[in-house]
A = this chain, B = another copy of it.
Amino acid sequence: MKFTVNRQSFIKKLNDVSRAISTKTTIPILTGLKLEVTSNEITFTGSDTDISIETTLRADDENAELNVEEAGNIVLPARFFGEIVKRLPEATMTVAVKEGFQANITSGAAAFTINGLDANSYPHLPEIESDDEVTLAGDVFRDIINTTVIAVSNQESRPILTGVHFTLAGDQFTAVATDSHRLSQRKVTLPTPATETHDVIIPGKSLVELSRMIGEDSTDVKMRLAENQVLFLLGDTSFYSRLLEGNYPDTSRLIPSESDTTMEISAPTLLSAIERASLLSHESRNNVVKITLKGEEKSATIFGNSPDVGAVEENLSAISLEGSDLEISFNPDYLKDALRSFGQSQIKLSFTSALRPFTLVPSEDEQNFIQLITPVRTF
């Protein structure tokens, strides 16, 4: 195996697959980066068994300056190899594997020799052969992930809740996550209906990495589902994730259909006030903020306090406030996460009583995006 390549192009691909490579794995070969070199391309693979990423650098990409002298495969220690590549002196570098699994890396006057491993010992990636492919715009899909993944559970006691539940039926694509204290649900209508019905739970951690890979690009993301794996295709990159097994709880019955008090307000205005109130609730043992709604004054008063440190009170004017007066207490961190997911929008909050969950929806799109928060009993 021997090739010369532009270092920056190589580093970009190496960074992409490095997202899947953990230094903490118990399987030594998975701390490695697999390189498969053919006459016209290099395929990079990284995996931590939960997530696997594969990407390709092609000789027909002019920036790659790729020149393959001899094909071959090798697994190199990923973190260490990456540090070497980043610190080489010249714009291009040459990687050669002669005998055994020792790789020579040269660039200018610098010559490294590092010990690799046999690429034949690297685990095979799952094979997903599926004709049923769903295509989503990158920015839409990233937004769906980022607004739902906030509500997944971090507790391994109920593993199923550490994932986001995706359902696909006809042209309706739904994502929902809940940690049993709060819930986030998004719905999207697909331009082309899917031919099959799907119901899968994807680990939140996989989705966070996937969302980072989509980045600011709005390139299409293609999703292919198999029995226990999902494959996302982003240009030259394949992103595999395992699925969570089990039945996701029925969340539709958690969302209240009626309300006694509704308030419309700007999301960033409410967010700033809740951030201030949480400064105090964080200093207290139970981390609770109280909100008092008065219909007549169209006012929402936010209270936070900590016996040791002090108290805060802030009076906000709602755009509209209808229904019964109400006093309700909740974990402000849940409300902050929910409010951030609405960006600069105007939102509608709907309350039933001090002990029943309340919901937040964007005023302009009440049907397709909902955040739900369970209050805290303080009496």
Whether A310 touches B112, Cβ cut-off 8 Å, given contacts A80-B283, A283-B80, is yes
Interface string of A83-125 (1 = CB under 8 A from B): 1100111000000000000100000011111110000000000
Q: Considering the chains assembled together, what is the distance between the CA atoms of A297 and B30 in angstroms?
A: 44
Contact A114 B315 (CB under 8 A): no
Whether A84 touches B308, Cβ cut-off 8 Å, given contacts A109-B314, A111-B314, A313-B111, is no
Q: Considering the chains assembled together, what is the distance between the CA atoms of A88 and B112 in angstroms?
A: 55
Partner of A89 from the list B110, B115, B272 (CB cut-off 8 Å) is B272
State the Cβ distance, A136 to closest chain B Cβ, in Å: 36
Q: Considering the chains assembled together, what is the distance between the CA atoms of A115 and B283 in angstroms?
A: 13
Which residues A289-331 have CB closer than 8 A to chain B?
Answer: 308-316
Please report the total number of A residues contacting B with Cβ < 8 Å: 31
Contact B279 A309 (CB under 8 A): no
Whether A112 touches B312, Cβ cut-off 8 Å, given contacts A275-B87, A276-B88, is yes
Contact B279 A312 (CB under 8 A): no
Determine the chain B residues whose CB is within 8 A of the CB of A234 once the complex forms: none
A312, closest chain B residue (CB)? B112
Q: Does A72 contact B (CB under 8 A)?
A: no
Partner of A312 from the list B111, B309, B311, B312 (CB cut-off 8 Å) is B111
Contact A276 B110 (CB under 8 A): yes
Contact B279 A87 (CB under 8 A): yes
Whether A115 touches B84, Cβ cut-off 8 Å, given contacts A109-B314, A276-B110, A314-B110, is no
Determine the chain B residues whose CB is within 8 A of the CB of A89 once the complex forms: 272-273, 276
Partner of A311 from the list B77, B113, B314 (CB cut-off 8 Å) is B113
Q: Considering the chains assembled together, what is the distance between the CA atoms of A280 and B114 in angstroms?
A: 9
Q: Considering the chains assembled together, what is the distance between the CA atoms of A89 and B314 in angstroms?
A: 11
Q: Considering the chains assembled together, what is the distance between the CA atoms of A196 and B109 in angstroms?
A: 54
Contact B109 A315 (CB under 8 A): yes
Contact A115 B310 (CB under 8 A): yes
Contact B114 A310 (CB under 8 A): yes
Contact B309 A77 (CB under 8 A): yes
Whether A113 touches B272, Cβ cut-off 8 Å, given contacts A80-B279, A83-B279, A279-B80, is no
Interface string of A280-292 (1 = CB under 8 A from B): 1001000000000
Q: Considering the chains assembled together, what is the distance between the CA atoms of A373 and B280 in angstroms?
A: 52
A88, closest chain B residue (CB)? B276
Whether A273 touches B110, Cβ cut-off 8 Å, given contacts A77-B309, A83-B279, is yes
Which residues A128-157 have CB closer than 8 A to chain B?
Answer: none
Q: Considering the chains assembled together, what is the distance between the CA atoms of A280 and B80 in angstroms?
A: 9
List 10 interface pairs A-B (beta carbons < 8 Å), by A numbering: A80-B283, A83-B279, A89-B276, A109-B273, A109-B314, A109-B316, A110-B273, A110-B312, A110-B314, A112-B310
Known: A89-B273, A113-B312, A115-B308; 17 extra A-B contacts, CB below 8 A, are: A80-B283, A80-B309, A84-B312, A87-B272, A87-B275, A87-B276, A89-B272, A89-B276, A109-B273, A109-B315, A110-B276, A110-B312, A112-B311, A112-B312, A113-B311, A114-B310, A115-B309
**5 nearest A-B pairs in the assembled complex, by CB-CB distance:** A114-B310, A110-B314, A112-B312, A113-B310, A113-B311
